[in-house]
Amino acid sequence: MKKHVIILLFLILLISACTKKEEKEITPLDRLGEYVDLWSKAEFTKMYDEFIEERSKEAFGKEQFVDRTELLYKDLGIKDVIVEFDKPEAEEEVYNKEESYTYPVRIKMETIAGPIEFEKDVALVNEVRDEKDNWYIQWDPSFTLPDLMKQDKVGVSIIPSNRGEIFDRNDNAIAINGSGIEVGIVPEQFDIDENAEKLANILGTTSEFIDKQLNQSWVLPNHFVPIKKLAFTQEAIYDEAKQIAGVESKKTDLREYPYAGALSHLIGYIGRINADELEELKDEGYAESDVVGKRGLEQLLEEQLRGEDGVRIYIEKTDHNAEKIIIAEKTAVDGKKITLTIDAELQKTTFEAMNHEPGTAAVINPETGETLVLASSPAFDPNEFAIGVSASRYNELTEDPNQPLLNRFAATYAPGSAIKPVTAAIGLAAGTLKPEKGHTINDNKWQKDSSWGNFKVSRLYSPPNPVDLQKALVYSDNIYFAMEALSMGKDQFVEGFTKFGFGEVIPFSYPLRKSQISNDGKIASEGQLADTSFGQGQMLMNIVHLATSYAPIITDGKMFKPILFEDEPKSEVWKEGLISPENASILRKDLREIVVKGSAKDADIPSIKISGKTGTAELKSSQNESGKENGFFVAYPTEDMSYIFAMMIEGVEDQGGSSHVVKKVAEVMSK
């Protein structure tokens, strides 16, 4: 029995000895592998507690290792950290615990300033803790960022980008990163009791605000204290303000709109982002100090115009004369340059001709679809809005009966008799209108029969009988067009105008209200059919569509997609087959006769031959205004037919009707 017990004990001891012998000794490489794994996972507390040598802990402490590193990861947006090292091909059989072992590692990471990559030699030493020896890392802050030492400062600087600029077809600046005037006060030269109220009235601010600015903690007697920025178009305000002793100015960077009100409704303006916009755009990197487009193309093209700021991460050394070492940099990307098809000088001339009267105008190239003018009058100064318009000034604009903040080219209006050439084109295409066929019309009021009740169609002029197409256009005879619409019938009438793009959103880069035949796209009665044939009833059009609808008369049946940007395809067909070349030729002759003999005689000028059609309509806009008459004139140069000019002016009933508009268009076309 004793013999068996002895043998059993021997076997147990033998197995135990063999097991210990077979247990693999932990090597520096094993420890480095575990450390690298934790490093990639950013488990800094565990790294510090279990892997850092005591001397490193004494030198830097947990605050440097854990707290500072976590803060740097947060502030610098450090993520996707990859730490790699190559194991030696032949690992040492025995590691001397009295020596240190060093291995190169490669660190890669992504930051707010782009990628950072660097190499680091990692040394491991053997220490005994809790009666067990193990390998520990010799650490310093350069493990986190290259060349970083304990007392160094890590900085982040923003590299500002430039907002994209907008130019016209001739490279004239429309919206650029220009300059303005910053008006300020030098306190020691300024009598606040005598002049604060006076200056406040000039600048559109308050004496309380001026007092607050002058009492900021940093202000010294000889300091320049900014009070208000002024646009270059507000030079008259500064000229008045600088008469006060102690008022000076400095040049300041501002968004500049050289054409001011002439292009304000199209271009819009930028302004400081508000709380609602910031909430909406918070995921796109906007900050409280940013500006955004507020109206027009500045708003529509915000994504393209907005630049992307660059970022630079640097280390400011404490032992090398505050040398800054850049460790990562993402360059700024400027916003896109936008070139429009607009001719800014022609737009300015058109806007000035409108003389701040309520209305709108568009000029289109019928062969390419290029938009040369897109104006709304009256307007506002976008330079004033870009620096921040006061509440009183904004109220003044909103309460103006002429509504300078209303974008009229985006709205729709009853086109009146300006639509008659389109009605004629549809009738000619349908074969129901015979240009040589005349109607005998004896009175200035007409109805088909007694079924119309009290409804009658009226006309202003009485052309000699029989009234054919040319006479009807020259004299703008509503009765003739009502008769032809009835001959055409509701179905062909609606189909014809649908082919001209009514009822659909016009394919244009700027959002415009779509034109309509009626509120529901249908014609309910013969009376409505008659009314609609000469642009009344419920018919509404935007000014771009009105100009474009004349293009088939010039292009022998094609209507090209209107475009606003130079990089858009030109001469892209929107509608075709709208009128035959023969019928287009008939209408071209008639439109010239309207100027020579008819309602547009004021455009019969020696400097240029003009063809076109006038129109007068009761005001029916998408803003539900009524009670006045709108005057229209759609014209083109007879000989080269290189553009179509459409203008509408509101409230012409006391200014000679549509002839008031004819004179304005002729004035612009003659230049």
pLDDT at position 320 is 62
Rounded distance between C-alpha atoms, residue 311 and residue 321, angstroms = 23
List, in order, residues 6 or more apart from 133 with CB less than 8 Å away: 97, 126, 127
Backbone Cα Rg of the chain? 39
Residue 435 lies in a domain: yes
Rounded distance between C-alpha atoms, residue 72 and residue 64, angstroms = 11
| 186 and 284 share one domain | yes
Of 93, 121, 149, which closes a domain? Answer: 149
pLDDT at position 318 is 83
| 354 and 222 share one domain | no
Residue 9 lies in a domain: no
Rounded to the nearest angstrom, the gap between the alpha carbon of residue 166 and the centroid of all alpha carbons in its chain is: 11
| 552 and 661 share one domain | yes
Rounded distance between C-alpha atoms, residue 493 and residue 478, angstroms = 16
Do 618 and 651 contact (CB within 8 A), yes or no?
no
pLDDT at position 23 is 52
Of 120, 149, 178, which closes a domain? Answer: 149
71: its two tokens: 């803060």
pLDDT at position 92 is 77
Listing DSSP states for 185-224 in one string gives E-GGG--HHHHHHHHHHHHTS-HHHHHHHHTSTT--TTS-
Rounded distance between C-alpha atoms, residue 30 and residue 48, angstroms = 17
Residue 437 lies in a domain: yes
Rounded distance between C-alpha atoms, residue 376 and residue 263, angstroms = 8
Q: What is the CATH number of the domain that holds 70?
A: 3.10.450.100
Residue 295 lies in a domain: yes
Residue 398 lies in a domain: no
| 500 and 589 share one domain | yes
pLDDT at position 235 is 85
pLDDT at position 623 is 47
Question: Cis bond leading into 511, ω under 30°?
Answer: no
Residue with tokens 């052309």: 463
pLDDT at position 25 is 84
Of 149, 175, 200, which closes a domain? Answer: 149
State phi, psi for 238 to the nearest 5 degrees: -65, -40
- Which of helix, strand or coil describes residue 428? helix
State phi, psi for 526 to the nearest 5 degrees: -65, -35
156: its two tokens: 């982040």
Rounded distance between C-alpha atoms, residue 416 and residue 402, angstroms = 22
For residue 283, what is the DSSP state?
G
Angle at 129 between CA 126 and CA 131, to 5 degrees: 105
Residue with tokens 């190559």: 86
Decide the pairing of beta strands 359-364 and 573-575: unpaired
> What total number of domains does the chain contain?
3
| 98 and 174 share one domain | no
pLDDT at position 628 is 86
| 183 and 322 share one domain | yes
Residues of the chain where predicted confidence (pLDDT) is lower than 70: 1-24, 320, 619-627
pLDDT at position 409 is 98
Q: What is the CATH number of the domain that holds 563?
A: 3.40.710.10
| 80 and 131 share one domain | yes
| 535 and 611 share one domain | yes
Residue 564 lies in a domain: yes
| 133 and 58 share one domain | yes
Residue 583 lies in a domain: yes
The domain in which residue 281 lies consists of 166-330
Q: What is the CATH number of the domain that holds 278?
A: 3.30.1390.30
pLDDT at position 240 is 94
| 299 and 414 share one domain | no
Strand blocks (E) in 310-410: 310-316, 324-330, 338-339, 359-364, 371-377
| 529 and 657 share one domain | yes
Question: What residues pair up with 101 in beta bridges, in sequence order?
Answer: 124
Rounded distance between C-alpha atoms, residue 29 and residue 139, angstroms = 16
| 548 and 412 share one domain | yes
Rounded distance between C-alpha atoms, residue 371 and residue 351, angstroms = 15
Rounded to the nearest angstrom, the gap between the alpha carbon of residue 399 and the centroid of all alpha carbons in its chain is: 27
Catalytic residues: 417
Rounded distance between C-alpha atoms, residue 480 and residue 463, angstroms = 10
